[in-house]
Amino acid sequence: MSVKPIKKSHKLDNVCYDIRGPVMQKANQMEAEGARIIKLNIGNLAAFNFTVPEEMEQDLAKNLPNAAGYTDSKGIFGARKAIMHYTQQKRIKGVTLDDIIIGNGVSELIGFAMHALLNVGDEVLIPMPDYPLWTAATTLAGGTPVHYLCDEDNEWNPSIEDIKSKITSNTKAIVVINPNNPTGALYSDEILQQIVDIAREHNLVVMADEIYDRVLYDGHSHTSVASLADDVFFVTMNGLSKNYRACGYRAGWMVLSGAKESASGYIEGLVMLASMRLCANAPGQHTIQTALGGYQSIDDLVAPTGRLARQRDLAYQLISEIPGVSCVKPKAAMYLFPRLDPKVYPIEDDQSFVLEFLEKEKVLVVQGTGFNWHAHDHLRFVFLPIEDELREAIGRFAKFLKDYRER
Ligand code: PLP
């Protein structure tokens, strides 16, 4: 008797998340066979010996006995209060406890944001390149991702012209990832204001992913796009994964602000989705108040002599020295997104290119198309390893490219 194959649903047909896709699976297989691979593919700070602030760890342990039950679906009071205060520091007006939903990381909330809003055929403007979960979640929710260009020649700022040209009567929302993964860009207030003006004119929800808002170099400061208007509806996301090096705590939040009255139906949908999954991971929630209230952030690491700043400088310098490779220096986050000049490196398929680099040099990076970039000419490097390891990894990259040029 033949067995009927069990297939994945059609809902997943066009859903891609290449950061943990075939290239990572290949690396896992190579490791299982004994290879030692330098992994520059995932922004997971703990894997590179960045530690969670001690007070957060202590609070996690201390609160464990209180964390066995379900919590309010929106999250525990103390955590939401601290998030509310954080919105005040970021000058986002009028946020009450009721406007905050805590989730199992921003990842879960990105899904909520899309599922609660989109009907089949609705379009969402998403940056290109993007953090690919935004595109994947839009597609999974039945929407259509429409990518707007971020301009490498203008420090990877969003192209306002391109955004305007892509708005249709079906456009429902615009996603703003600032600071940006994968480019490390930090958008100017002028650009943010122009995006807000477009959202107002076309009645778009602004979905702001600000998870790197404290991972800022060179004394830069961050403006929350939601602080720029009261008459546009904003969903702002943030969490503990990056600013507090606590990816595994799975604690993120969404803040609803601005034109809330006009979005009451959508908010009802968000609350319904939060209720259906009962609550977010309770132990993680118990560390949010400490994280946001104390001297806990990433400030020391991003200061000019801090570990992250030094690693950024080194990685940027070494990558920029390679012939035919150029890179915009990141102002924020923990990634470099260099360009390989197609005249020097005529790459036809960047995934195959990354696989070949992995197999030959045992270094794992992610191909630019994995971030919905339109051409096969970019790669993303995480600069989380210590300086010696970065030197080794980028040295191997330079060697790989030299061999490529001499083919
Ligand atoms: N948003 C961006 C821009 C990210 O880079 C990441 C993780 O790398 C996430 C969201 C996911 O965050 P979380 O760990 O809170 O789910």
pLDDT at residue 296, as a whole number: 64
pLDDT at residue 22, as a whole number: 87
Which of 41, 150, 211, 235 to probe ligand 1 with, by most ligand atoms within 8 A of CB?
211
pLDDT at residue 21, as a whole number: 82
> Could you tell me how far CA 378 lies from the centroid of its own chain?
17
pLDDT exceeds 80 at position 1: no
Mean pLDDT for 232-252 is 96
Considering only CA atoms, which of 100, 160, 157, 171 is closest in space to residue 129? 157
174: Cβ contacts below 8 Å, ≥ 6 apart: 124, 125, 148, 163, 195, 198, 199, 204, 205, 206, 207
In the chain, the amino acid numbered 397 is: F
Does domain 54-293 fall under CATH 3.40.640.10? My reply is: yes
pLDDT exceeds 70 at position 270: yes
CA distance 198 to 163: 9
Q: For residue 377, report the phi and psi dihedrals to the nearest 5 degrees.
A: -140, 15
Contact (Cβ atoms closer than 8 angstroms) between residue 192 and residue 228: yes
pLDDT at residue 300, as a whole number: 84
pLDDT exceeds 90 at position 19: no
* DSSP track, 114-168: HHHH--TT-EEEEEES--THHHHHHHHTT-EEEEEEEEGGGTTEE-HHHHHHT--
Contact (Cβ atoms closer than 8 angstroms) between residue 240 and residue 291: yes
Considering only CA atoms, which of 95, 70, 72 is closest in space to residue 85? 95
Cβ of 368 closer than 6 Å to ligand 1, yes or no, is no
pLDDT exceeds 80 at position 132: yes
In the chain, the amino acid numbered 163 is: I
Q: What is the pLDDT of residues 337-375, one digit of tens each?
A: 999 999 999 999 999 999 999 999 999 999 999 999 999
Candidate from 202-211, 243-252, 288-297, 353-362 with smallest mean pLDDT: 288-297
Cβ of 107 closer than 6 Å to ligand 1, yes or no, is yes
Contact (Cβ atoms closer than 8 angstroms) between residue 378 and residue 55: no
Which ligand 1 atom is the nearest neighbour of the CA of 108?
16
H/E stretch holding 302: helix 299-302
ipTM: 0.99
In 162-283, DSSP assigns E strands to: 171-177, 205-209, 233-239, 252-258
Cβ of 247 closer than 6 Å to ligand 1, yes or no, is yes
- Which pair of structure tokens corresponds to residue 333? 């986050």
pLDDT at residue 407, as a whole number: 85
- Which pair of structure tokens corresponds to residue 160? 């306002």
CA distance 39 to 185: 22
Give 300 or 203, the one with higher predicted confidence: 203
Mean pLDDT for 177-200 is 98
Considering only CA atoms, which of 138, 140, 109 is closest in space to residue 126? 138
pLDDT exceeds 80 at position 297: no
What is the residue extent of each domain of the chain? Answer: 10-50+300-405, 54-293
Does domain 10-50+300-405 fall under CATH 3.40.50.1000? My reply is: no
In the chain, the amino acid numbered 321 is: E
pLDDT at residue 2, as a whole number: 81
pLDDT at residue 366, as a whole number: 95
Cβ of 185 closer than 6 Å to ligand 1, yes or no, is no
* DSSP track, 6-56: P---GGGTT---GGGSHHHHHHHHHHHTT---EE-S---GGGGT----HHH
Q: What pTM was estimated for this model as a whole? A: 0.96
Mean pLDDT, the chain, whole residue set:
96
